[in-house]
Structure 1
Amino acid sequence: METSRQWPDRVGILALEVYFPRTCVNHTELETFDGCSAGKYTIGLGQTNMGFCTDREDIHSLCLTVVQNMFDRGVARPDEIGRLEVGTETIVDKSKSVKSVLMQLFAASGNTSVEGIDTTNACYGGTSALFNAAAWIESSAWDGRYALVVAADIAVYASGNARPTGGAGAVAMLLGPNAPLALERGMRGTHMEHAYDFYKPDLSSEYPVVDGRLSIQCYLTAMDKCYQRFGSRTDKKQLTLDEIDFACFHSPFTKLVQKSYGRLMLNDFLRDPSPNTSSGKYAGLESFLGRKLEETVFDKDVEKAFLKASKPMYDERVGPGTLLGTQVGNMYTASLYGSLASLLALKKPEQLVGKRIAMFSYGSGLASSLYSFNVSSDVAAVAKLTTSVSHLPKMLESRTKVPPAEFAKMMKLREETHHLAPYKPVADIDLLYPGAYYLASVDDKHRRQYERKAGGTSRLENGQD
């Protein structure tokens, strides 16, 4: 890549890499184990399986694996990276960044000139890192090299109603100019405010404090605000769903994604000066005319009506992006980008070229943005991108389904050994994917040593390769 002082064209995602744990628990089996009514997790939440980490995997190992896998695939070399930023809320150390741990993968190349650190605000960190990376490429600081963004988290909850909404995973995104997925300039709506809907005040625990009802209210209200601000800044035009070919959402659970898309239709309906309620997509919705949007967040009649009305569009434009959310669960910062990877994995390149993909990112506390990608008209370039994630369905099928009772024991072990030092993990590394990095040990000074399973020869210890 050559250095350019011009504003580069089509800055966006050149390549994607996805990693999630090989271990998962089935939600139908978990319903029985938890003594819940049938369908509480599968229908009520829209979930099928939930990925989880044993004590062999932490945020460092997830990120080491996803970045090394990208390098192994040959899409970029370590010396071609000029910026690396990690978006995560999974904190191992209050000072040392995950990015600094990843610098071990650059040691052999001699490249230590890599800008960026970690970005944290619940599930929004990956989006902030993406925006920062794109801004770096479009700035005078850009030196012509690629930017690498990693969104990764481990979502775990105490035993109870929230536990089935956990998950874990990492997505690495290579950014540069002339990308098959280009960020649309001027197409961004953002909403931020102060809220205690979900937060982690106890640094000795992996578990958050959650106000479930408030969190859903914050999510949907933030989406309303972002959607109202989403559109071209040059002509002040607000976009409607008719102008959005595909949509990806942050997914705490898939049912919320379904409700969210229906709510976007509600937004369109209420701001349409003369919606046609006699035929078409708004048929039969005349009783909702004149409703105030802010009063409908928990209105079940509104929710059901617009879920039904939006379903045909949802199935085509949103449903394909829920693969990982449904099968792996909430990956926090990686959730939205897992949705993007799912969409690319299940759609043919010819179905994507020239299309607009809207992305809604939400992080509790709260921070949110709605922005969009434009897909290139170059079929070959799009095909190359989709090929990088085409293996995801088979990767999901190759996982080990752990019985709920064993899952509960593993979660108890994580709870008891979180931040314990010294510590030697006990889970079987056969439960990991080939080539995955894993935690080998923690010494009495809390320094973590990692090794790579079968196929990898790296031994990472105290910053040395």
Structure 2
Amino acid sequence: MVGIDKINFYTPNTYIDLVTLAEARGIDPDKFIIGIGQSKMSVPPISQDTVTMGANAAFPILEKADLELIDLIVVGTESGIDESKSVGTFIHDLLGVQPFAKAVEIKQACYGATAGLMMAVDYVRLHPDRKALVIGSDISRYGLATSGEVTQGAGAIAMVISSNPRILEIEGETVALTQNIFDFWRPNYSDTAIVDGKFSNEAYISSFHTLWEEFMRRTELKLSDFDAFCFHMPYTKMGKKALLPILENEDKDLANQLIFNYDLGTHYTRHIGNIYTGSLYLSLMSLLNNPDHKLTAKSRIGFFSYGSGAVAEIFSGVLVPGFEKHLLKKEQEEHLESRISLSIDEYEALFNETIPKDDGIHTINRSKTDNSLFYLKEINEHKRIYGK
């Protein structure tokens, strides 16, 4: 049995309220709050990047024994900081993982962390006495006053993968789908993504339905074998658009249960925004931390991971007896509640801050609101130097 032994998330300490943003942009707030199901959007200061957010997510769940047993660190991201050097090497150093570990970065849009999870699960199955660390860390940027502005966000998730996991066992059969399409992409020369919004929604929904049919064929599982579904969520209404059509001819009680649990899984995304590679696993934490769920040991959860461009995958997991004792509900909710609301001027100022690109030594101005453990300290001859 291999799966998720520990799991945590991190998001920057500042956010913009989407009612405030809507009013500043001359838009009806209901289009944000009700239409796409978003309420707040995390805004990272310049001192927080893919490396620091990943390290900040992982640090609270790592004990000395984990640092000695982790052989593999995989970081899924589409917000990499270097075209050659992986985010994983920085995080390996910041966390103090034993030196004989592999550390890599995987890129395939929002699917990257799931690719890392599958790699980690396979590794631990072959090395049951060792562990792996999987991180999804991203900053979602589309630009100020753009159509995609409201679906931005920032954050990271971290998972320790082990034998005899204490939260979720990953089941063996998974089904993936690859299509070479342009629904969302970001050329190397662009700081913001290019999005075909309507096509991307259609591709997401179509991928889920294609995979679901194939998953049922291969596994012989049916919808009634599942107690909940977690989806990649660029915004909270997206997954429901894919889920609802397969519920139309199902038992009403089952359909209501799956919709209910889906909604429980949207809370964190609603208040953080789109964190790309980590959003699927943010949904899992939101679901399991919610006191209203009725999930128990042996409850089966379905997972739909989607990364534009496009790679998607469906897999399943079963909750382990005593899973609720190993969640960080109190700490995670305190983290969300302690954040600081920004004014429009403060939000736009943070958004417009940029990393120096010229040679020399540049100290990064760490804002007073950035109270995170790890932070970007300086750029020294094009090298990123981090503080703790």
Q: Which TM-score tier does this pair reach, normalised by the shorter chain?
A: over 0.9
Distance in 2, matches of 1:419 and 1:128, equals 31
Tell me, yes or no, if structure 1 residue 83 matches structure 2 residue 69. Answer: no
- Given candidates 257, 260, 265, the residue that maps to 1:316 is 260
* Pairing partner for 2:245 from 254, 263, 279: 263
Counterpart in 2 of 1:463?
none
1:352 positional shift: 2.6
Match of 1:100 in 2: 89
Alignment partner, residue 290 of structure 1: none
For the 8 Å contact 1:229–1:238, the answer to whether it is kept is no
Preserved contact between residue 227 and residue 264 of structure 1 (Cα < 8 Å): no
Q: Which amino acid aligns with 2:302?
A: A
Note the alpha carbon deviations across 1:56-96, whole angstroms, 9 max, x for none.
1111111222222222xx38431121111111111210000
C-alpha change, 1:232 and 1:421, in structure 2 (3 Å) is: farther
Distance 2:137 2:29 in 1: 31
Aligned partners of 1:390, 1:258: CA distance in 2, in Å? Answer: 27
Partner of 1:112: 99
Q: 1:369 to 1:143 in 2, by over 3 A?
A: closer
CA contact (8 A) 2:50 2:81 kept: yes
RMSD: 2.2
- 1:212 and 2:197 aligned: yes
1:168-187 deviation per Cα after TM superposition (whole angstroms, max 9, x unaligned): 1111101111113101112x
The letter for the 1-side match of 2:353 is: L
2:51 and 2:366 map into 1 onto residues whose CA distance is 17
Report what 2:289 is aligned to: 345
Match for residue 362 of structure 1?
306
1:231 alignment partner, SS class: helix
Candidates 439, 442, 447, aligned match of 2:383: 447
CA contact (8 A) 2:356 2:379 kept: no
Asked if the contact 2:298–2:319 (Cα under 8 Å) also holds between the matched residues in 1, the reply is yes
Pick closer, same or farther for the CA change 1:411–1:418 going to 2, 3 Å. Answer: farther
TM-aligned CA distance change 1:437 to 1:116, over 3 Å: closer
State the shift of 1:314 in Å. 4.5
Q: CA deviation at 1:52?
A: 1.5
TM-superposed deviation, 1:426: 2.7
Q: CA deviation at 1:419?
A: 4.7
- Where does residue 407 of structure 1 map in the other structure? 347
Distance 1:420 1:164 in 2: 31
Per the alignment, do residues 75 and 281 of structure 1 end up closer, same or farther by CA in structure 2, a change over 3 Å counting?
farther
**C-alpha displacement of 1:413:** 1.8
Rounded to whole Å, the distance in 2 between the matches of 1:345 and 1:171 is 15
1:432 corresponds in structure 2 to 370
| Cα drift, residue 113 of structure 1 | 0.8
Q: Is the 8 A contact 1:361 1:369 kept in 2?
A: yes
Q: 1:239 aligns with which of 209, 214, 222?
A: 222
Contact 1:70/1:76 (<8 A) preserved: no
Q: Is the alpha carbon distance of 1:63 and 1:69 closer, same or farther for their aligned partners in structure 2, counting shifts above 3 Å?
A: same
1:67–1:38 CA distance, 2 compared to 1 (3 A): closer
**191-200 vs 60-69, which deviates more?**
60-69
CA-CA distance at 1:316 after TM superposition:
2.4
Q: Which runs of 5+ in 1 are unaligned?
A: 1-9, 270-274, 283-308, 453-465
Where does residue 252 of structure 2 map in the other structure?
281
SS state at 1:185 partner = coil
Q: Could you list the per-position Cα deviations for residues 129-151 of structure 1 after superposition, in whole angstroms to 9, with x for gaps in the alignment?
A: 00000011123xx2721111111
Tell me how many residue pairs correspond in the alignment: 385
- Distance in 1 between residues matched to 2:265 and 2:83, nearest whole Å: 34
Contact 2:20/2:344, CA 8 A, preserved across alignment? yes
Amino acid at match of 2:87: V
Q: Alpha-carbon deviation of 1:393?
A: 2.3
User: What pairs with 1:325-344 in structure 2 (closer than 5 Å)?
Assistant: 325-344=269-288
State yes or no: 1:254 paired with 2:193.
Answer: no
Q: Percent identity?
A: 27
1:176 alignment counterpart: 162
What is the distance in 1 between the residues matched to 2:379 and 2:24? 33
Q: Please report the TM-score for the alignment, with normalisation by the length of structure 2.
A: 0.93
Q: Is residue 2:118 matched to residue 1:135?
A: no
1:16-62: CA deviations, max 9, x gaps?
12111111000111100111123111111100100121111111111
Q: Which residue of 1 aligns with 2:6?
A: 15
Q: TM-score, normalised by structure 1?
A: 0.78
Residues 16, 389 of structure 1: 8 Å contact kept: no
Counterpart-to-counterpart distance in 1, 2:125 and 2:151: 37
**Does structure 1 retain, via aligned residues, the 8 Å contact 2:3–2:161?**
yes
Distance 1:216 1:39 in 2: 20
For 1:215 and 1:421, locate their aligned partners in 2 and report how far apart those are by CA, in whole Å.
39
CA distance in 1, matches of 2:268, 2:133: 22
What's the CA shift for 1:342?
1.0
| Residues 266-312 of structure 1: CA deviation (Å, up to 9, x unaligned) | 4xx3xxxxx7xxxx639xxxxxxxxxxxxxxxxxxxxxxxxxx95x3
Does the 8 A contact of 1:206 with 1:418 survive in 2?
no
SS at match of 1:351: coil
Unaligned runs of 5+ in 2: none
Q: Conserved in 2, the CA contact under 8 Å of 1:68 and 1:105? A: no
Change (3 A) 1:105 1:264: same
Paired with 1:55 and 1:348, the residues of 2 have a C-alpha distance of 37
- Paired with 2:279 and 2:95, the residues of 1 have a C-alpha distance of 26
Question: Which is greater in Rg?
Answer: 1
Residue 230 of structure 1: aligned partner: 215
Q: 3-state SS of the aligned residue for 1:173?
A: strand
Matches of 2:48 and 2:134, distance apart in 1: 20
Structure-1 separation of matches of 2:294 and 2:240: 25
Deviation (angstroms), 1:116: 4.1
Distance in 2 between residues matched to 1:53 and 1:260, nearest whole Å: 30
CA deviations over 1:160-214 (Å, ceiling 9, x no partner): 110110111111101111113101112x2221110011111034x4311111111
2:181 paired with 1:195: yes
